[in-house]
Amino acid sequence: MICVKCGEDKGPDSFYKREKSTTGYRRSCKGCLRKQKVMRVYVVTSEEYDKLHTLSKCYICGEEEGVNVYGKVKALAVDHCHSTGKVRGLLCQVCNVGLGAFKDDEYLLLNAIKYLKEKL
């Protein structure tokens, strides 16, 4: 199947299913749909998106993909500041949720590090 956005020939597993389509799949591949959504939600250009994804590893732990609590492989998350909306980089699900749990608060994170050092 050929994606109408990127023009690449990909297998059916690279496309979301769509019952109303003559092929049974969406015309754009999952990667292109994700790119489109990220660009719209985080207001980044195509070039900024491509630059982020050339790194393709979590900035914190270095993993390429993360496995969520249900054991499903998840693509890297677009980490952003909730106050300003500024995109900071890509994180795996575990690191992204971890930062969220600490409310992006440097003081809390430093206290957590101190705690770990003292209790190990």
* Contact status, residue 25 vs residue 12, Cβ threshold 8 Å: yes
- Tell me how far apart the alpha carbons of residues 66 and 39 are, in angstroms, rounded to a whole number: 21
Average pLDDT across the chain, whole number: 87
Domain ranges of the chain: 1-42, 44-119
Determine the pLDDT at residue 34: 85
For residue range 51-97, list pLDDT tens digits in order: 877 777 888 998 877 566 676 667 788 898 878 888 888 898 889 89
pLDDT at residue 118, as a whole number: 95
With a cut of 80, say whether residue 42 has pLDDT above it: yes
| Percentage of residues in the chain having pLDDT higher than 90 | 36
For position 104, what pLDDT does the model report? Answer: 86
Q: Which pLDDT belongs to residue 117? A: 95
- What are the pLDDT digits (tens) for 95-120? 989 998 999 899 999 999 999 999 98
C-alpha 117: how far from chain center: 30
pTM for the predicted model, two decimal places: 0.68
Q: What is the pLDDT of residue 67?
A: 61
Residues whose CB falls within 8 Å of the CB of residue 32, separated by 6 or more in sequence, listed in order: 3, 5, 6
Q: Which CATH class is domain 44-119?
A: alpha beta
